Amino acid sequence: MFRRSLVLSATRISRICAQLSSESLLNSNGLGNLRTSTSLSNFSTTSYLKVAQKSNVAEAADWHDVPIVSTSFASNGRDAFMAIYWGQNDVMNVYKPSTIPGATIFHAALEAIMVALRQAIFERKLNRVIVQTDSKYLVDCANRYLKTWRNNGYKKKDGNDVKHAALLEDFAQLLDMIDAKIRLAPSSKESNIIELLKSDPKFAIEIQETQAGVDVFDPKKSSAGETQIYVSGKHLAKKPGGFSVASYGFHIPNKPTLDSCGRFNKFPITLTRAQMFGIIQALKIAKQEGMKNINIICDCPQFVKYYKRNWLKSDGTPCANRYLYQEIKE
């Protein structure tokens, strides 16, 4: 038997993700053996790096005092919630269900950014703003894809329509109205805005209800004799509509020689499936080593939540990937 816990912020999870990025994703795509071209002289390479560094420093200085707003999303398995955080007890902080019909966490993440932009433009009267989000896809949309899509009528390379084109066009129009940077939120406990919003009485109860059924692991409260196994997954979508790559990894603090990571290549490739596959691989090692009283700590809230529900939806029907759940149970 083992307990399931969800780590919202842990240095060990960060370590695993870093390992996944460097060892599994890069090497599996042939990027691990890159070498500097011999056709470039040391002088020209050094000069280029110095120019790039100066440019980055100048840009950072230019945006140093620009207001920052952080956005995020959450789900209770039925509804998707958007979260906006300007600062402690700020009147424009938001935590509420997405207003988009049939909203998923994608809609909640996008709406959170759009509401934050509207606040910056129409209420705070800002000329510039930095918006942080947990969604790498939306960062890529803002910084790479939107320009191309607006020029080609929101078409993918294969000629099919881009999903959510109308919403993405609304997003693009807001970006036209303000000088904004859309960037990934840092991964740390201090920047977890759901946790920060919990301190505001206006949102505390609703957030608690949203997170009901999900355990947050506290290392200080772990029982003596438990074997902790940290499991993480990573997913990278190359291009909209293109192929994607996913990896998993696990870390056993008291037996680090058993740590492992690998590429998940069973179609369809999703983050949740990679995370669950990582749990399966970790349990196989634990069984081989005769480990007892195992505590699995993962970064997959869907797994933790639906494991407690025997992998059933609210209406009693099985959730997707039930065969992975059954393999974990066995």
Full set of structural domains in the chain with CATH? 2-29+218-329 (3.30.420.10), 68-209 (3.30.420.10)
Phi (first) and psi of residue 105, to 5 degrees: -65, -25
What's the pLDDT at 8? 41
Closest CA to 252 of 277, 220, 287: 287
3-state secondary structure of 302: helix
What's the pLDDT at 15? 54
Task: Measure the CA–CA gap between 132 and 210, rounded to whole angstroms.
Answer: 22
What's the pLDDT at 30? 42
What's the pLDDT at 55? 66
What residues in the chain have per-residue pLDDT under 70?
1-55, 77, 188-191, 211-224, 237-242, 314
Task: Measure the CA–CA gap between 199 and 306, rounded to whole angstroms.
Answer: 27
What's the pLDDT at 313? 75
Indicate yes or no: pTM above 0.85: no
What's the pLDDT at 285? 93
